[in-house]
Structure 1
Amino acid sequence: MRVLNRRTLLDLFSIFLIISSSDGLRLEECNSQPLGMASGAIEDSQITASSSFDKQSVGPQNARLHTELASGAWCPKPQIHSSSYEYLQISLNGTHLITGVETQGRYGNGTGKEFPSEYMIEYQRPGTDLWIRYRNRTGQNHMTGNFDTTTAVMCHLDPPIVASKIRIVPHSKQTRTVCLRAELHGCNYKDGLLWYTTVPEGSRIGDQDFRDHIFEDTGMYAETGTKRGLGILSDGFVAVASPFEENAINGAWIGWNKHHTGGAVNLLFEFDQIRNFSEVTLAAYGHRMDSIDVIFSQDGNTFPLSSQISSLDKDRLLSNSSAKRYDLRIPLHKRMAKKVRITLKFSSDWLFLTEVHFSSALYNDVTSYNIGDISEDGHGKNAIAILGLTVLFVILSAILCSILCLRRNRPKSHKAGIYDQPIKRDLIITHVGNKPTCNIFPTHSYLGQSAVFGAGNLYSSDKTTSTSVSSKSSSSNKHSPPNWSDFHFPPPPHTSGEERIYAEPCMTLPLLPSQKQNISTPKSAKHTSTTVRQPAKTKNANEDSVHYAAANIFSDSYGFDKIPKFSFANLQIGGDLGEGKFTVIRDCIMPNGYRAAYKSVKDKNNMHARYFFRKLN
C-alpha cells in the first residue's frame, strides 16, 4: 500500500510536466492518410527536383497526384536509364512515419505517354545530412511503378520509413523519358526514436542467420564501431511465431547465441530530445532472462550510475519451462533521458527479440527538475514536497490574482484637493490709519441686480497717514483661501471724538486724491483697457481729521457705459500703495494728468489670485 501511494504521487506530479506522450511505434495506431501532395497541404516550396525539362510546364510543382497542372507532371531533363540519378524531393513539416508511396504517369489531357515503371526511395531524418536508400523486408530497393499514364499505383512500405524528407528516384533498365506524379501516405511520428545500436549485431551460426536484415544502411557508426539506424526492433511489427519455424517471416527476429555473445547483449537507443520514460516492453522469445539493467543519459555522453534500474527475473529462477514467446515490462519510474542503454543477461542458448516499445513523454522545456531522481526506494518524500509546493504556488497565485482584480474594479475615491474647496469671494481686509475693517463686497452680477450702486471713486484726504490693502494671512505659506477663523475682527469704532464717514467701497474704483477734475474718455480706448472712475466730491472736514474712502450714490439710470476707459499702455505706473493676499495697488498717472490707483494681480500663475481678481472686476 505504501508503494502504491508513492507511485500515485509520482503520476500526479508528472501531469504538471508532460505535454505529450507516446507508447512506441505501433502501426495499428498510425492512421495512415495522404500527406498533402494532391490536396495542396504540401506547398510548392516544399517540392523540388534535381532537374526539369521545362520548369514552368513540367516542373516539380506539377507532380501532384490526380491533378492536371500545366503539362500534367514532373519530367526530369535527361532521359532515365539504369545508372541515372534524377529525383523528385518532398520536404515534410516535421518527422513522419511513411507507410506508402503512390505514383502516377503524365496524362497531359491525352497527350502524355510517360510513366515510371519502377523507382527507388531515399529518405533523410533529423540529425544527419546523409540520404538513406530504402530496402524492404525482403531486401529489395526497387519499387514497382506504373504501367500506364492514368492509373495510380500504391506501394506499401514494409517496414515503414521514419523520415522528414523523401526522394523518389525513377529507374529504368532501358533508356526512356519518364514523367511522374506522386503522393505520400503516413502519419506524424511521435515515438522520438531516431537510431539504435546492438552490441553484438546478431548471431549467425551455420544456416541459422538471425542478424538484423532490415537494418538501415545509414553509413553512420556509434562510438563502439557498430552501425546506427533503425531495424527490426523499431519497425512496429511484433512476430508471434517461433523464429525456428520454416514459415517464419524473414526479418522478424534478431537473435543472439550464448556462445557467440557470452550471454550478454547491450542495446543503445537514441531519441530526438530529452524524454520522460515510464516503462519499456521487450517482446522476446526463449527462456526467461536472468537480469536486465537500464541506465540513462541526459547529455548523450555520460550515464550516471544513480539513474540505473536493475531488474531480476525471479520467474526465471523458479521455472524450468520450455522456450516460448513472452513480453517483459520494466518500470522506468519517470526517468529523464535522451539516450537509454539496456543490458540483457541470459543463460539459455538463444535470446530473441522482435520489438522494443518505450512508453515516454516529452518534457516542457522550462522544467529543470529531474524526475529521474525520484524512485520508489526512498525518494517518495521528494515527490510529496514538490507536489505540495506546486499546489501551494497555484493557490497563492489564484489569491494574488483575485486581490488584483478586486483592487482594479474598486471605484476610485474622490480626493478633495485645495482646488476643490470653494473660494471665498468678495472678501477684503483693509487697514486705514492702522485700524482694520472687514467688508463683504458684491460681485458684478449682484451689482447688476441692485437697485442702486456707486459710480464714484474711492479716495482719501491728504491727511491719511497710511493706506494699505492686505490680508492677515498674506505673509503665510498657505495655498488655500483664508478662512473666517483666521481673522480677529476689532469692535466697531465709536462715534465720539473725530468725525468719520463710512461707506461701502467698490473694489473696482481706484484710490484718488480729493481733487475735483474732469476726465474725458479717449476715443482710442479699447474694450480691454483699464477702467477708471471719476472721483466724487467729498464733504469738507477738518484737515486733522481722517477721512475714510467714500463713494457717491447714483440711481440705476447711470450705467457703466459713461465710465471713462484708458489703455494700459497709456498709464504711468508708480510705487506701491498697498497690497492684499492676491493683489497689489499701485499709484498711476492717467494720460490727462490725473492720478489714480491701479490694482493688479501679484502672481499671475496663481489660480486663486486670478479667480479672485476676475470675480471682483
Structure 2
Amino acid sequence: MKEFLAILCLTFVGAARSVEPSQCIAPLGMESLAIKDEDITASSSFDHGNVGPHHGRVRNEINGGAWCPQTMATPDSKEWLEINLHTVHMITSTETQGRFGNGNGVEFAESYMLEYWRPRFNKWVRYRSKTNGELLKGNINTYLEYKTQLDPPIWASKIRFIPYSSHKRTVCMRVELYGCRWSDGIVSYSMPQGDKRGNWEFYDLAYDGHWDGEKLKYGLGQLTDGQIGPEDFKLAFHQENSQGWVGWKNDSREGKPIEIIFEFDKIREFSAVHIYTNNQFTREVQVFAEAKVMFSVGGKRYKGEPITFDYMEDCIFETPRNVSIKLHHRVGRFVKLQMHFAARWILLSEVTFDSLPVSGNFTEEEEIEEPVFQKDQVPLGTDNKNVISAVNPSGGMGQYLGIIVGVLAVLVVFMIAIVLYIVIQQRRYKSSPRPSQVPGGCDKAALYREPSLGRLTSSSDYADVRDPEYAVPLQPPQTPRTPPTLQNFFPKPPSVPPPPEKYYAATEICGGGFVPPPPPLSTPPPVRLGRQPRYVANARTYVGP
C-alpha cells in the first residue's frame, strides 16, 4: 500500500517543461562563427578594422582581439555591443572576456549590463536579475573568461552588452551567449499581479513587461521560465535563488476567476495546456475548481464555445501537481485561460502549451461589426487591403454552402423514404391473398347445392337438401373477367321481373334483405323420398298414398 501511495504521489510531481533551462545551455555561435559578422553591431568602435564589433568573439585573437568602444566606460555609459539572433531565443547564460591581444592588451570590463529586444516590445528592456539587480559581474583580467547564469533567463531576438565602470576607464570585450531557440512561441502573457499574504509576496517578480497598477501586460516572467516552485510555498521565501509561486486571493477578486491571456508569435494549433499548481489545502491553497480555455486570432473577440475543465477536489495529497487540459486542436494566436477558485488561494508556478504553427489565411476578429456598404460606397479612412479569412471563401456562395448541402441532404433522404414506401406496398400487395368474392353477411350453407341426381323435379324455391354430406360447393363460372362498363356504375331498373333463382343460395338471400314468400295453400308440399308426409286438417286425418 505504501508503494502504491508513493507512486501515486510521484504522478502529481513534475511540471510540464517544453524548454528545460538545465538543457538549454548550448553556445549560440559567437566563438564558432555561427553568428555572422553582419549580425554583430556596436554603438561605436575605436578602430573598426582592428577592434570592430565583429572581433568581439570570446576566445578569438583576430587582429586587435576584441571590441573596443570609442569612449571610455562610465556609470552612465551609452556604448553597447549588439547581437542579432533574428528569432526569439531563451538565453540562460552569458560569458565575457577582456582583450588579451597576444599579451599586449590591458583592457577589460569589471561589470556590465544587458538590454534585450523581443518582437512584442517597442523598446529595449533593461535586464534585472533576482539577486544583483541590473549589474552583472565581469572580468578581473584580460585572459580569463567569466560565465554568468541568468536568473531569470532572457527571451529575446536581440541582446546588447553595455560595459560599466564606477570610474572612467578604457574597456574592451569579447562575449558569448548560451541558450536555445524558444519553441513555445509565447511572446507575452497578461494577467493581474499576484497578491500579498502577510509577509509573503506572491508577485511575479521576474515579469519583464509593463506593470500598470495591478495589471501586467506584454511581458514574460515566472510562469514561462521553466522553473517550478517548491512543494512548500514558504521555502521560496527562505531559500536563496529558489523559484517562488505566483498567487491570487479570492477575497480581493469578488468571486471572479483569474484570467491570463497568452499571446503567441504566430497562429498555432493547440493540443494541450499544462498548469503546475499548488495544493496545500491545509493552508487554504487548492487547485482551481474549474478552468475555461478560449481562443482568438486577433485577440479582440474570443469566438466559439470555450473548453471547460472541471477538476476533482483532492483533500488527501498536498503535493503540487501538473494539471493537463486537452485543447482538441483548436486554432488561434491568443489563448485566454480562466480559473475559478476552489479555496481562498490559487498558486501557479508554470504554464506551458503543446502547439504547432499552422499556415493558412485567417481573419482577425473585430470588436464591433463593420457597417454594410453598397458596391459604389467606400468607407473613409480605410485602405484597400485584402481581407484574410479563416476559411478560403470562393465568392459569396461560400457562406451559404452549408445551408445548400443541408437542404440537398434532406431532399435525398425524403426521396429514399418515398421509394422504400412504394416498394414495401408493392410487396405487401403481391404477398397478400386475393379478396374473397363472397359477401360478408352471406350464410356458408348458401354456397352449396345438392346434386341433381335422384332429386324429384320441383320448384327451385323449395329445393331441399337430402344430406349435408352430399353438398357440393357452389363454383363460380370459369369465364374470363372483363372490365366493368359505364352501365354497371349507373344501373337501371329491369323492365321485366328477374327470373327465379336456380340455386338455393341467391344474391338477395346472401344480402340478408330477401324473405321468401309462403307457398300457396293449394299447392301440396313436394314429395320426399323414403317417407310419406301426413297432413292433418280439422278433425279429419288424411294419410297420403
Q: 1:52 aligns with which of 45, 54, 70?
A: 45
**CA–CA separation in structure 2 for the residues paired with 1:210 and 1:128:** 25
Residue 262 (str. 1) matches residue 254 (str. 2): yes
Equivalent residue, structure 2, for 1:354: 349
Structure 1 residues 496-575: aligned runs within 5 Å: none
**CA–CA separation in structure 2 for the residues paired with 1:236 and 1:166:** 21
Equivalent residue, structure 2, for 1:244: 234
Q: 1:339 aligns with which of 334, 339, 352?
A: 334
Offset, 1:125: 0.9
Offset, 1:220: 7.6
**What is the CA deviation profile of residues 94-131 of structure 1, one whole-angstrom value per residue up to 9, with x for unaligned ones?**
22111111110001111111111111111101233311
Amino acid at match of 1:291: E
Residue 177 (str. 1) matches residue 170 (str. 2): yes
Residue 112 (str. 1) matches residue 111 (str. 2): no
Amino acid at match of 1:324: T
Q: Percent of aligned positions with the same letter in both sequences?
A: 36
**CA–CA separation in structure 1 for the residues paired with 2:120 and 2:207:** 18
**CA–CA separation in structure 1 for the residues paired with 2:61 and 2:81:** 17
**What is the CA deviation profile of residues 383-418 of structure 1, one whole-angstrom value per residue up to 9, with x for unaligned ones?**
xx9xxxxxxxxxxxxxxxxxxxxxxxxxxxxxxxxx
Count of matched residue positions in the alignment of Structure 1 and Structure 2: 344
Residue 190 (str. 1) matches residue 183 (str. 2): yes
- Partners of 2:65 and 2:99 within 8 A in 1: yes
Residue 81 (str. 1) matches residue 63 (str. 2): no
Equivalent residue, structure 2, for 1:41: 34
- Partners of 1:214 and 1:251 within 8 A in 2: no
Equivalent residue, structure 2, for 1:292: 291
Q: 1:207 aligns with which of 175, 187, 199?
A: 199
Residue 154 (str. 1) matches residue 147 (str. 2): yes
- For structure 1, the 5+ residue unaligned runs are 1-22, 372-381, 386-617
- Partners of 1:137 and 1:250 within 8 A in 2: no
Equivalent residue, structure 2, for 1:32: 25
Equivalent residue, structure 2, for 1:478: none
Equivalent residue, structure 2, for 1:324: 319
Offset, 1:54: 1.5
Residue 363 (str. 1) matches residue 358 (str. 2): yes
**CA–CA separation in structure 2 for the residues paired with 1:325 and 1:193:** 24
Equivalent residue, structure 1, for 2:220: 230
Q: 2:136 aligns with which of 143, 168, 177?
A: 143
Give secondary structure in 1 for the equivalent of 2:123.
coil
Offset, 1:267: 0.6
**CA–CA separation in structure 2 for the residues paired with 1:213 and 1:283:** 18
Offset, 1:347: 3.2
Offset, 1:321: 3.6
Offset, 1:365: 3.3
- Partners of 1:107 and 1:150 within 8 A in 2: yes
**CA–CA separation in structure 1 for the residues paired with 2:306 and 2:251:** 27
**What is the CA deviation profile of residues 204-250 of structure 1, one whole-angstrom value per residue up to 9, with x for unaligned ones?**
1331211111111x34879x954321001000111232112354555
Amino acid at match of 2:44: S
TM-score, normalised by the number of residues in structure 1: 0.53
Q: 2:87 aligns with which of 94, 109, 119?
A: 94
Structure 1 residues 409-488: aligned runs within 5 Å: none
Amino acid at match of 1:256: W
**CA–CA separation in structure 2 for the residues paired with 1:369 and 1:55:** 50
- Partners of 2:202 and 2:245 within 8 A in 1: yes
Amino acid at match of 1:344: M
Equivalent residue, structure 1, for 2:444: none
Q: 2:117 aligns with which of 102, 120, 124?
A: 124
**What is the CA deviation profile of residues 152-190 of structure 1, one whole-angstrom value per residue up to 9, with x for unaligned ones?**
111111222111101001111121111011111111111
Offset, 1:139: 5.7
- Partners of 1:117 and 1:172 within 8 A in 2: yes
Q: What root-mean-square deviation, in Å, do the aligned CA atoms of Structure 1 and Structure 2 show?
A: 2.5
- Partners of 2:361 and 2:390 within 8 A in 1: no
**CA–CA separation in structure 2 for the residues paired with 1:139 and 1:275:** 37
Amino acid at match of 1:353: L
- Partners of 1:125 and 1:163 within 8 A in 2: yes
Give secondary structure in 2 for the equivalent of 1:45.
helix
**CA–CA separation in structure 1 for the residues paired with 2:211 and 2:63:** 41
**What is the CA deviation profile of residues 47-101 of structure 1, one whole-angstrom value per residue up to 9, with x for unaligned ones?**
1111111212111111111111221111111111111121100111322111111
- Partners of 1:24 and 1:358 within 8 A in 2: no
**CA–CA separation in structure 2 for the residues paired with 1:220 and 1:270:** 17
The runs of at least 4 consecutive aligned structure 1 residues that moved more than 6 Å come to 366-371
- Partners of 1:25 and 1:234 within 8 A in 2: no
Give secondary structure in 2 for the equivalent of 1:324.
coil
Offset, 1:135: 1.4
**CA–CA separation in structure 1 for the residues paired with 2:39 and 2:288:** 48
Amino acid at match of 2:309: S
Offset, 1:360: 0.7
**CA–CA separation in structure 2 for the residues paired with 1:42 and 1:343:** 41
Amino acid at match of 2:201: D
Check 1:156–1:348 CA distance in 2 against 1; reply closer, same or farther (3 A cut). Answer: same
Offset, 1:323: 4.2
- Partners of 2:229 and 2:243 within 8 A in 1: no
Offset, 1:311: 1.2
Equivalent residue, structure 2, for 1:578: none
Amino acid at match of 2:198: G
Amino acid at match of 1:236: G
**CA–CA separation in structure 1 for the residues paired with 2:171 and 2:202:** 40
Offset, 1:302: 1.1
Check 1:297–1:366 CA distance in 2 against 1; reply closer, same or farther (3 A cut). Answer: closer
Check 1:262–1:148 CA distance in 2 against 1; reply closer, same or farther (3 A cut). Answer: same
**What is the CA deviation profile of residues 440-475 of structure 1, one whole-angstrom value per residue up to 9, with x for unaligned ones?**
xxxxxxxxxxxxxxxxxxxxxxxxxxxxxxxxxxxx
